[in-house]
Structures are given as structure tokens and as C-alpha cells.
Amino acid sequence: MAQRLTIAHSPCPNDTFAFHAWTHGLLPEAPGLAVTIADIDVTNGLAERGGADLLKISYASLPYVLDEYVLLPCGGALGHGCGPLVLTRSEDGPAGSGPEWLAGRRVAVPGVRSTAYLLFRLWAARAVPGGVGDIVVLPFHEIMPAVRDGEVDAGLVIHEARFTYQHYGLHRLADMGEEWEAGTGRPIPLGAIVARRALGEEQLGAVARAAADSVRFAWANPSASRPYVLEHAQEMAPDVIEQHIGLYVNDYTADLGEDGYAAVRELLGRAAAEGLVPAVTPGALDFPGAR
């Protein structure tokens, strides 16, 4: 039996839903996989160390790993209306407060190489005079409790938090996705699937086909992945799981397309111009494997 490829992705419903068929051997032509489930901040670090053949990482981390990894044209997370939110306690940042309230405040973020934090930095540079205060990195599921309990002044949240933050008595101060879409007209690039360049063109092509086929299998057989999704959903309510999948697994997951690639180039270009990430060389995002 051929040696299985290693993959690391998050426990979030969009990833377990999209990759269920592939990781469970339901795609006869797909390469075998050995799976590691880990928080996105962990997978970002693994990519920088060359720690797996395939990984789900933040688009903000992509410029740091392109020498060793190539962006797959499928499997990731982009979309509309799905951006990170800046949350405060209602009594601290009541309705009507502007972004200037964040000046000098202590803000929790889900990782310094997260796309959420990159979008936040691009926004805060013009929206928060004087800049925010201390940045605290927390796993994303710990951010809302930390804001609620007053451990931080504000939190930058991702994933299903956009459906549940009211349960913590929190107030939405700003939506990074709305800011991005209003300024660019493009979808919000959040998470990317990357594969080791050393796999070679033929195997990279097989990997890309498998990722896209896995997404399409999940759409065609939505109940097949339910036990696996629930196993890793961190006690998430079923309705929230469905909302999460519906928002983050979309046409861009099956195929980035021209619009998706343009959004990625726009994000990384703007960030590089501000000195926030290394510049991406022309052609670095091109996928070498024929699909």
C-alpha cells in the first residue's frame, strides 16, 4: 500500500465536512491521508516548519511558506458576509461606539499569523487613531469568554462566533468582512489549503482533484459526515453547525476561480504594501498540478 500523505486541519465544521470523504477513504482514486486535527494557529506553525504534506492555514501565513508549499485551488475558505468580528462587552463598547474606542485597549486575537488579525491590522491602521494597546493571542474558542469576563477589552473572533456572540452578552463593534468587501468588492480570503511542492506535479494534481471531489461528495451526501463533524464540533449546537457549514463551504471551496485568486492577491498585495507580510513574487500563487 502506498504511503499515506499527512494532512493537518482545524476541528471546525467546514473542514471536517469538506474533508470527511477524503479522510475516510470514500474517494477510490484519492491518495490516502493520515489526519491531524489542530487549531489554526497550530497548523500555521506546522506549515512554517514543513510539518505535513497538506495543511489548512491562514491566508496571512501563506507568504511565509510559499517556498515549500503551493496554494491549492480548492478546499479553502473564502466568501461573502463571513469576516471576523471585533466584539466588546455591551457596557464597554455600547451601540454607537466607534472604532476609536479601541485606542490603547487590550485586544485578544486568534493568532498573529491569522487572516483575522491581518484584516484587523489593515483596518485599525486607518480606523483607530493612536492604535490599539496590547495584543493577546488566545485559541479562538477562549476569546469570547475572555471578553465577557473582562480579561481583555475586546476580542477578534472567527468561525461560528458570528452566530453565538450575543449569548455571551457581547456587542459587535466592527465587522472586518464588511470593511473588506466595502473597500474591495471581493470575497474575504480566510483559510487556504496548501500542499508540499516536493510532491511533484502529478501528485499535486491528484491532491487537488481529491480536495475538490471531497467537497462535492459532502454536498451530495450531507448526512454522511455528520457523526465526524459532531465529534469535533466542540459542543456546538446543531443549528450553529449547519449555519457554519453553509457560510464557509461554498463555491470558492470547490474552486477558487478567478475571483478567488484575485481576492487573495489583493489581500496579500495590500498587506505587503503596508509591510505586514513579505511580498509575494509573480507566479508564486500559480498551481503547477494539472487538474
Is 223 annotated as ligand-binding? no
Query: Is 47 marked as a binding-site residue?
Result: no
Whether 159 is catalytic: yes
Residue 209: phi, psi to the nearest 5? -65, -40
With the C-alpha atoms ordered 59, 54, 247, 39, is the resulting torsion angle positive or negative? negative
Exposure letters 225-235 (e unless 16+ CB within 10 A, then b):
bbebbeeebee
Q: How far apart are CA 17 and CA 150, in angstroms?
A: 34
Can you tell me the distance from the alpha carbon of 55 to that of 69, in angstroms, rounded to the nearest whole number?
9
Exposure of 111 in the CB half-sphere (CA atoms within 13 A): 23
Q: Is residue 164 marked as binding?
A: no
CB-CB neighbours of 146 under 10 Å: 17
Q: Which one of 9, 159, 171, 244 is the catalytic residue?
A: 159
List beta partners, residue 76. Answer: none
Q: Is 10 annotated as a binding residue?
A: no
Cα separation, 79 vs 86, in Å, equals: 18
Is 116 annotated in a binding site? The answer is yes
Q: Which residues are annotated as a binding site for substrate?
A: 56-58, 115-116
Active-site positions read 159
Q: Which residues are annotated as a binding site?
A: 56-58, 115-116
